[in-house]
Structures are given as C-alpha cells and as structure tokens.
A and B are shown apart, each in its own frame.
Chain A
Amino acid sequence: MKGAASFGDGDPGPLVRPFAVTRGRAGRDLHGLDILTLVMTARPEAEHAGLDREYREILRLCQHRALSIAEIAAHMDLLLAAVKVLVSDLIDNGYLIHRPPPAVMARPDINLLQAVLDGVRKL
C-alpha cells in the first residue's frame, strides 16, 4: 500500500487523508474532470500564498506545463477522486485552466493518429 511508510502519529493514514484534504467532498460532477483532463496553472506563484498545502502543490506541479489529473494524483500520492475535487476547486477560483481529453468520436481524428504514429516511430 502506498503511504504505509509514513503512517505516523500525525498522519491518520493513506485512506483518511485524501478525504480529509477534500473536507469530505468527493464524487460530484467536477467540471467533468477525467483522468486525462489536462490542467495548467493560470496565476503567478505570488498569488498562491494563502492557499492550503495541497492546492499549492498542485499549482506548483502545473506551473510550467500541462499535467493530467492522473499524473497529479501519482505525484501527490492522492486518490484520483480527491485530486478531482481539489483541481475543481482551483478551476472554480481561476487558479487553473483545463482541457478535457478529446471527445469520444464515432470516427477518430486521422491527423491525431498520424501524429501519434510518427511520434512512436521516432522513439
């Protein structure tokens, strides 16, 4: 289990903490956030000072590059559900901009597939 090593006096444990940081909220339709929704910080670091630690951490991770919800969750060792809540809060307050992954289409985008194929061939 992740986080087991840091299971000390001050930390209620890996299962409780994610819900503690979201103050018990989870599972609402949070801007339709998906594991692959990309987010990026929209405000300068100077404006992050008053925020809780987890919010600041997300903004730091996404300061210079777009990151997916999945990557943020992995870097922060938080559940996806918890990260979606936190990211949603930051979007609501204008700290993050976001872009959902490409919509599910009947016909996939040939140009996108070609770009991915070219990229993989170059590996």
Chain B
Amino acid sequence: MVYANSNALSHPDLGGAQAVKILISGGFGAGKTTMVSAISEIKPLRTEERLSQIGASVDDLTGVAGKTTTTVALDFGRITISPEVVLYLFGTPGQDRFWFMWKELSAGALGAVVLADTRRLTDCFGALDFFETRGIPFIVAVNCFDGAERYDEDEVRHALDIDSRVPVVFCDARQRSSSKQVLVRLLEYLMLAARAVTFGPPRLAGRPRAACLLRKSRDHLDTHVVARHG
C-alpha cells in the first residue's frame, strides 16, 4: 500500500506509532478472556463484527432493518509498550462457527498463544490446526485449572502432537505474572524463529491429530485416545 508510507511522511503527527497484536486462542472456556484481563492495562474492551462480513464485500445494507444480523464479539486488551508501540491482545472467538473472524484477526499478528485445558484437550485442536496451516508461530500454554490433573510437558506435547520446537508452558491465566511469563516465552520464541535461517516446514497440514493423553488414576495408567475429525 503505497499511500501508507506517503501518508506517514506527510503527517508527522502519527510519528512512529505502531500497533501490533498477539492472539490469545484456544477452545471455549480455556481462559482466553481471563488471560487478556490479567495482563491488559485497560479493562478488556469488546467490539462486534457482523457475521455477514465473511470474506465478501457487502455493497449496500439499505433496508437491513428487516434482516436478522448476527454479530460475533471480540474481546481485546492493550499494553502500551512504548510511546510508539502499542500491543493489542485479541481473544479469538471460541466457537467453530466464528473461524472466518480468525482470518482478519491473524493477518499481521506477531504470533499466538494457544491455551489448553487438559480436561478438554481436543478443544484446542482447531486453533493448533489453524496456526500450523497458516504458518503463524504459536506456543501452547496449559492453563492449570484448579482440580485438573497435572501432566508434564512431554505428556502434553505428545497428546497435542505438535512440533518439538513449539514451547509448551504451564500457567495460571488468572495471574498477571503468570500470563506475562507466557507472553515473554512467546516473544522469545518468535525472535528465535525470526532469526533462524530456516525454521522448517510447519506440521504437515491435514495429518490427523490424535491425542493420547495419559490419564492418571490411583491404580493404573489408562491411555485415553481421542481422534480428531477432518
């Protein structure tokens, strides 16, 4: 977009202002909004987009009053990095029918945090697939819910079937310091990825992801296998 640069030059008022974003994703109820709330400098904001925005342009909405319009809510927070740089944290809509919204959200994103809930691990498969197939770098943050079984990093990595270089961290999304640490790990990983000459191909898209999560019990270890569709 040529006008972008010429605009910046002719209007020095915007200075070096830049807005960047990181996506906080995961299944419904995985703690996305909780994490955004924990670390945002402002109370998370909510905005809405029409579902009819899907991909195509809608030229004229005259007479829309008679139609039903469905909207999807987007929650986001803000962290002022410097006088020039503002970081926005967007919680991705947690339901499959809002996948279309992820496209605009992920365009230009620095990277993503995929929040995983070990009680419902398959819920984050959709997010993993989305970022892998589009080559958007992400880390996995296991949100340690009270009362949930604890697993170690290898168990989670194996269950999610992710690239061995993708960091897996454990967090409490309610805690500011813990959520901050997740962002630090993501950014360190992003820098590592950006510096690498070749970071390798993303996980082969379309390969079925099977979660074999060891379910700990008092008497025995039982292998719980769930297969992902599609």
Interface residues of A (CB under 8 A from B): 2, 12, 15-16, 19, 22, 24-29, 31-32, 34-38, 40, 42, 66, 68, 70-71, 73-75, 79-81, 97-104, 107-108, 110, 112-121, 123
Do A97 and B7 form a contact, CB below 8 Å, given A27-B53, A110-B195, A117-B188? Answer: yes
Do A36 and B21 form a contact, CB below 8 Å, given A24-B61, A26-B61, A116-B87? Answer: yes
State the main secondary structure of chain B at its contact with A: mixed
The reply to whether B13 and A97 contact each other, CB–CB distance below 8 Å, is yes
Contacts of A101 in B (CB 8 A): 18-21, 108
Contacts of B61 in A (CB 8 A): 19, 22, 24-27
- B46 an interface residue at 8 Å Cβ cutoff? yes
The reply to whether B78 and A104 contact each other, CB–CB distance below 8 Å, is no
Contact of A24 among B60, B78, B180, B184 (CB under 8 A): B60
Query: Which range contains the number of B residues in contact with the other chain?
Result: 35 or more
**Distance of B183 from chain A, by nearest CB (Å):** 5
Q: Which of B17-36 contact A (CB under 8 A)?
A: 17-21
Contacts of B17 in A (CB 8 A): 38, 40, 66, 99
**Using an 8 Å CB-CB cutoff, how does the interface string of B55-71 with A read, 1 for contact, 0 for none?**
01111111111000101
* Bound complex: CA A114 to CA B194 (Å): 11
**Distance of B51 from chain A, by nearest CB (Å):** 11
